[in-house]
A and B are shown apart, each in its own frame.
Chain A
Amino acid sequence: MNNIDTFDTATLWLALPEIFLLSAIVVVLLLDLFLTKPFKQVTYYLTQLSLLITAILAFNLIGEPKSILFGNAFILDDMASVFKIFMAGSTMVALVYTRHYLTEHKLFRGEYFVLVLLAMLGMMVMVSGYSLLTLYLGLEILSLSLYALIAIARERAGAVEAALKYFVLGAIASGLLLYGMSMIYGISGSINISDIATFSANATLASREMLILNFGLVFLVIGIAFKLGAVPFHMWVPDVYQGAPTSVTMFLSTAPKIAAVAMLIRILVEGMGAMHAYWSDLLMVLALLSIALGSVVALMQTNIKRMLAYSTISHIGFILLGFVTGVISGYGAAVFYVLVYILMSLAAFGMIILFNKQGFEADKISDFKGLSKHSPWFALMMLVIMLSMAGVPPFIGFYAKLFILQQVVSAGFISIAVIVVVFAVISAYYYLQVIKSMYFESSDKAMTTTATMDVKLILSINAVLILMVGIFPDFWIKLALSLF
């Protein structure tokens, strides 16, 4: 492992993806100013290109030895690179769907893409941050971009309300996180993850030091739980998911989850791994509450975006369960689950966006009535997505749950595993509601789509991947495990 304390320009290339993206943002922002209306699409293509190049640059860094750079503020390891690739990839897919949405709803503006790129930069900093300060900065870059993105539909009351709610609650969460960080800094004397790890692993800590360390830890966990949307810090999730423009909801529910999980890994696993016994109990409570509430409350929803919000909460619960186990393969299971969740979430929101038309959001479950008749192909794909989310084999969602359950049982929590699968069955009910609407009910009003070929193609590939990766999941499981 390279460990370079000082700032050395010779190591800058290890942060090349970030540096490139930042420059690209500046270019896109400036260029967009001078583009006249007919050429606005250029912004979109440039954004996609920047993301693609960022991903390629990150890909080239895979296999580099683990290096901690820039005065212990930045880490480059395979986990960071792989996460960056997945974030860039999922953002690119999300943007394909987004363009359709923005065009239909007359929200197509250059700023949207710049904000997405900025959020992406924030996430990359979170993934590679190795001091509390960098992590926090990354989180804020991400959050501020997201607040603005939600409010971009400024004439919609729901969107503005969602943005405000997210902003207020997000600010509180950031405050809690900072408070926890200050505690940790106060007692350990450092904001570097590696120093904190050494400090907290010290067996000779006085009980007073332990107390403060624990105190800070609780606030850190709360801050992370807020960002992930775990119960009881989930209040913002349903409102924001429902109120935000669907394209933003989609973005919100995908790449930032990777970043939040990365932050959790950096702070809890790498920074405070020695205190696993303390934080795993906290995560266990969060996980169980999330799974229970997410599964039960979603039963009553008629709005599919809100339903997916609760479904996200329950998925987050499963992800947290992976961290409870405290072993490498448990973390691997959690990371695998996140990647799987993102694949499913992209497809689910993509499906909603597909049927969006000017003035019509297609976000009620009843909007999907009779879809199997009017558009059997997309109905079949929605069926795949829903069953995969419910954890029915042979779709990928099953293997994600299997991996988590296997780790939970192996850690000795058999009763937890039983409780969790019962809630999984309960949650199957609301996924079945969507299938019921599409297949068992009929409607005279045909759902049609005005989407262009690229949206349909990417969406189809996305859904087929849910099946294909489900049939051959080995590579992805190994990939997730290799990151630790």
Chain B
Amino acid sequence: MDNSILSLLIWLPIFAGVAVILIGNERANMARWISIVVAVLVFVMSLSLYTDFDTSTQLMQFEEKATWIAHFNIFYHLGVDGISMPLIILTTFSTILVIIAGWEVIQTRPAHYMAAFLMMEGLIIGVFASLDAILFYAFWEASLIPMLLIIGVWGGDNRVYAAIKFFLYTFLGSVFMLVSLIYMYNKGGSFSILAMHDLNLTTTEQAWIFWAFFMAFAVKVPMFPVHTWLPDAHVQAPTGGSVILAAIMLKMGGYGFFRFSLPITPDAALQFSDIIIILSLIAIVYIGFVALVQRDMKKLIAYSSISHMGFVTLGVFALFLAYKPGMTEAALLGLEGAMVQMVSHGFISAAMFLVVGVLYDRLHSREISTYGGVINSMPKFTGFAVLFAMANVGLPGTSGFVGEFMVILGVVQANIWYGVLAGSTLVIGAAYTLWMVKRVFWGAVTNPEVGSLSDVNAREFSILALLAIVIVAMGLYPQPIIDVMHVTIEHLLNQALTSKL
């Protein structure tokens, strides 16, 4: 079992998904129970990755390797390090949430809905665990398919447009990555990602490959200016789809920068880091202002996601500015901050979308103006919502604070003005989040329907409570997660700072 834990994590949900489809929509309850049991089981198994993890090495752990396509030297090669392991646990955790969240709400084709999420879970774990570029690419693209269907089948009024835009945008981004992977295969004779890390590439080659990767990962993150698919996809997706999209799929882009861009093209990353930093700052500041004027809650959170993911790319690429010979602390802070931010954003964005989902299930409106004074009828719910909003703002004591603070600390040492701009998010983020809280939750009840809302039921309470615990725990004591990634990130920093020329 020890040796095949990653395979198990990938294939168990996928085959369970097939089984759930076969059970069919007629036996919805059975499908729901099987889904939740599998999701919890997978989560529990994924915890063993954490408990058995060796934090003293940057080498890949839980490795599995088998020949897959011999002609191309392609292997079924899995393994995790300190970067991918937390993301896998984030995936297994989020899947439980969305399955519980969709329990009663999804009445059209419930079994297919659950199956789509289970399969997506397996595919996304595959993305994070793959150490072979083609295996990675296969999982990367395949994970688009369930999401396409989730948005298109269970989405809102404009779902067809959003689903197809989502698919084509990300598909277009990733084909360039494919070409550069093939290029490196032809040069190095191997699709192994680790071998690519050691592949010598000239400045020109690195530049092209860097931008090809950038197309794939920037679309996923998403970075300004290729972010426009995200608000559409989020607004139209069902709650569960939004949660997975924000909590995990965006992280695939950030993960790509960690796993591919930095180690494979370090010199190009250094050369173009200014451009990326500026794009990240635009995302943080400008998109923050865009969020401010949204009337649709989901759209607001979607833009807020883009702004927060800006911290990830900022932290990654600021390392080149922050680094001074002999002083790796600042660069390390930025990089670790980026990683912590990814995990924390996974929890917070999931929580925010679930909050909107709870409201939407009751009144079928995402408009801020529909609500007002929700606290009067839903006090328990408002308690959670305000906590999550504070986390979104980055209040100390919540997980949102840790990552952003680390990134800002790193950036300030690189360039004080960049630090100031990045720090402005604490104001802008507070503005759009708290203003939404004020208009939705505080004040007097203006809409009579709001007055008669029923508070969260046990099912909703349990998922919100679960998230609240995680967010506060991570905010108060982030050390375990930093410990896990520390050695890997140090190694990565070393790779990024070592010229290949």
Interface set of A (CB-CB < 8 Å, partner B)? 372, 376, 383, 387, 392-394, 398-399, 402, 405-406, 409-410, 414, 417-418, 421-422, 424-425, 428-429, 432, 435-436, 439-441, 473-474, 477-478, 481
Closest residue to A481 on the B side, CB-wise?
B71
Beyond A387-B145, A392-B145, A439-B152, whether A410 also contacts B186 by CB under 8 A is yes
Output the nearest chain B residue to A372 by Cβ-Cβ distance.
B153
- How many angstroms between the C-alpha atoms of A418 and B72 in the bound complex? 20
Least CB distance, B425 to chain A, in whole angstroms: 34
For chain B, residues 66 to 81, give those with C-beta under 8 angstroms from any C-beta of chain A.
68-72
Instruction: Assess whether A393 is in contact with B137, with CB atoms less than 8 Å apart.
Output: yes
Q: Which residues of B contact A441 (CB under 8 A)?
A: 160
Interface size of B by CB at 8 A reads 34
- B30 at interface, CB cutoff 8 A: no
Chain B residues near A392: list those with CB within 8 A.
141-142, 144-145, 171
Q: Chain A residues near B363 (CB, 8 Å)?
A: none
Which residue of B68, B159, B179, B185 is within 8 Å of A440 (Cβ)?
B159
A382 to B147, CA, bound (A): 17
In the complex, what's the smallest C-beta–C-beta distance from A360 to chain B, in angstroms? Answer: 26
Provide the bound-state CA to CA distance between A279 and B138, in Å.
34
Check A474 against B68 for contact (C-beta < 8 Å). yes
* B71 and A406 contacting across the interface, CB-CB below 8 Å: no
Asked whether any CB of chain A lies closer than 8 Å to the CB of B289, the reply is no
B160 and A436 form a contact (CB under 8 A): yes
CB-CB under 8 A for A409 and B71, given A429-B168, A439-B149:
no
Q: Give B25's nearest chain A residue, CB to CB.
A: A376
Judge whether B182 and A405 touch: CB under 8 Å.
Answer: yes
**Given A440-B152, A440-B160, A473-B69, CB of A425 within 8 Å of CB of B172:** yes
Task: Name the A residues within 8 Å of B356 (CB-CB).
Answer: none
Q: Nearest CB to that of A384 among chain B residues?
A: B145
Q: Chain B residues near A481: list those with CB within 8 A.
A: 71
Q: Give the Cβ gap from B235 to chain A, nearest Cβ, in Å.
A: 16
Within 8 Å of chain A (Cβ to Cβ): is B163?
A: yes
**Cβ contacts A to B, 15 pairs, < 8 Å:** A372-B153, A392-B142, A393-B137, A393-B138, A409-B179, A409-B182, A422-B172, A425-B168, A425-B171, A428-B171, A436-B160, A440-B163, A474-B70, A477-B69, A478-B71
Bound CA span A387–B164, Å: 13
With a CB–CB cut-off of 8 A, which chain A residues contact B176? 418, 421
| Contact indicator B69/A398 (Cβ below 8 Å) | no
Q: Find chain B residues with CB under 8 A from A394 CB.
A: 138, 142
Question: How far apart sit A265 and B153, CA to CA, in the bound complex (Å)?
Answer: 46
What is the CB-to-nearest-CB distance from B419 to chain A, in angstroms, rounded to a whole number?
Answer: 38
* Nearest CB in chain B: distance from A340 CB, A: 14
Interface residues of B in 154-198 (CB under 8 A from A): 159-160, 163-164, 167-168, 171-172, 175-176, 178-179, 182-183, 185-186
Instruction: Rank and list the top 10 A-B pairs by shortest CB-CB distance, nearest first.
Output: A393-B138, A421-B175, A440-B152, A410-B186, A425-B172, A440-B160, A474-B69, A409-B182, A393-B141, A477-B71
Assess whether A406 is in contact with B137, with CB atoms less than 8 Å apart: no
B179→A421 contact, CB < 8 A: yes
Seed contacts A414-B183, A440-B152; 18 additional CB < 8 Å A-B pairs: A376-B112, A393-B137, A398-B141, A399-B69, A406-B182, A409-B179, A418-B179, A422-B175, A425-B171, A429-B168, A432-B148, A432-B164, A436-B163, A436-B164, A440-B159, A440-B163, A441-B160, A474-B70
A394-B69 Cα distance, complex, nearest whole Å: 13
CA distance A392 to B112 in the complex (A): 21
Residues in B284-328 with C-beta less than 8 Å from chain A? none
Q: How far is the CB of B69 from chain A (nearest CB, A)?
A: 5
Q: How far is the CB of A117 from chain B (nearest CB, A)?
A: 36
Q: Is the CB of B71 within 8 A of A425?
A: no
The answer to whether the Cβ of B134 comes within 8 Å of any Cβ in the partner chain is yes
Question: In angstroms, how far is the closest chain A Cβ from the Cβ of B27?
Answer: 14
State whether A409 and B186 are in contact (beta carbons under 8 Å apart), knowing that A417-B179, A428-B167 are contacts in the complex: yes
Chain B nearest CB: distance from A107 CB in Å?
A: 37
Separation of A426 and B434 alpha carbons in the complex (Å): 42
- The residue in B142, B179, B183 that gathers the most chain A C-beta atoms within 10 A of its C-beta is B179
How far in angstroms is the closest Cβ of chain B from A359?
30
What's the minimum C-beta distance from B273 to chain A, rounded to whole angstroms? 24
In the complex, residue of chain A having the shortest beta-carbon distance to the beta carbon of B144: A392
- For the complex formed, measure the closest distance between the CB of B455 and the CB atoms of chain A, giving whole angstroms: 35
Taking CB atoms, residues of chain B closer than 8 Å to A417 are: 179, 182
Which residues of A are found within 8 Å of B149, using beta-carbon distances? 439
B316 → chain A closest CB, angstroms: 26
Q: Give the CA-CA distance A383 to B71 in the complex, in Å.
A: 28
Assess whether B144 is in contact with A424, with CB atoms less than 8 Å apart.
no
**A473-B168 Cα distance, complex, nearest whole Å:** 26
Q: How many angstroms between the C-alpha atoms of A461 and B171 in the bound complex?
A: 28
* Minimal Cβ-Cβ distance residue in B for A387: B145
Most chain B Cβ neighbours within 10 Å, of A428, A429, A440: A440
Report A-chain residues with C-beta under 8 Å of the C-beta of B186: 406, 409-410
Whether B70 pairs with A402 at a CB distance below 8 angstroms is no
Which residue from chain B places its CB closest to the CB of A414 in the assembled complex?
A: B183
Set B68, B153, B182: member contacting A402, Cβ < 8 A: B182
Q: Is the CB of A432 within 8 A of B138?
A: no
A-chain residues with CB within 8 Å of residue B69 when the two chains form the complex: 399, 473-474, 477
A402 to B138, CA, bound (A): 11
CB pair B167–A439 under 8 Å, yes or no, is no
A393 touches B153 (CB 8 A): no
Query: CA separation between A394 and B76, bound complex, in Å?
Result: 13
CB distance from A271 to the nearest CB of B (A): 28
CB-nearest residue of chain B to A411: B186
B156 smallest CB distance to A (angstroms): 12
Check A439/B138 contact, CB under 8 A, given A392-B144, A418-B176, A428-B167.
no
Q: How far is the CB of A10 from chain B (nearest CB, A)?
A: 38
Of residues 37 to 70 in B, which have CB atoms within 8 Å of A's CB atoms?
Answer: 68-70
The chain B residue sitting closest to A392, CB to CB, is: B141
B68 neighbours in A (Cβ, 8 Å): 474
Are B145 and A424 in contact (CB-based, < 8 A)?
A: no
Complex interface: chain B residues within 8 A of A414 (CB): 179, 183
Q: Given the complex of chains A and B, what is the CA–CA distance between A435 and B179 in angstroms? A: 26
A-side contacts of B134, CB under 8 Å: 402
C-alpha spacing A393/B140, complex, angstroms: 9
Specify which chain A residues have a CB less than 8 angstroms from the CB of B168 in the assembled complex.
425, 428-429, 432
Residues of A within 8 A of B72 (CB): 406, 477
Q: In whole angstroms, what is the CA distance A478 to B71 when docked?
A: 7
A332 and B347 alpha carbons, distance in the complex (Å): 48
Report the minimum CB–CB distance from A370 to chain B (whole Å).
11
Interface pair A425/B182, CB less than 8 Å apart: no
How many Å lie between the Cα of A394 and that of B138 in the bound state?
A: 6
- What residue in chain A is nearest B183 (Cβ atoms)? A409
Cα distance A78–B70 in the bound complex, in angstroms: 22
Asked if B71 and A439 sit within 8 Å, CB to CB, the answer is no
Question: Given A392-B171, A406-B72, A421-B176, A440–B153 Cβ distance below 8 Å?
Answer: yes
Which residue of chain A lies nearest to B22 when distances are taken between CB atoms in the complex? A377
The interface residues of chain B lying within 8 Å CB-to-CB of A435 are 148, 152
Which of B172, B176, B182 has most A Cβ within 10 Å? B182
Residues of B within 8 A of A425 (CB): 168, 171-172, 175
Q: In angstroms, how far is the closest chain A Cβ from the Cβ of B86?
A: 26
Contacts of A409 in B (CB 8 A): 179, 182-183, 186
Bound-complex Cα distance A405 to B152 (A):
31
Which residues of the other chain, A, contact B153 by a CB distance below 8 angstroms? 372, 439-440
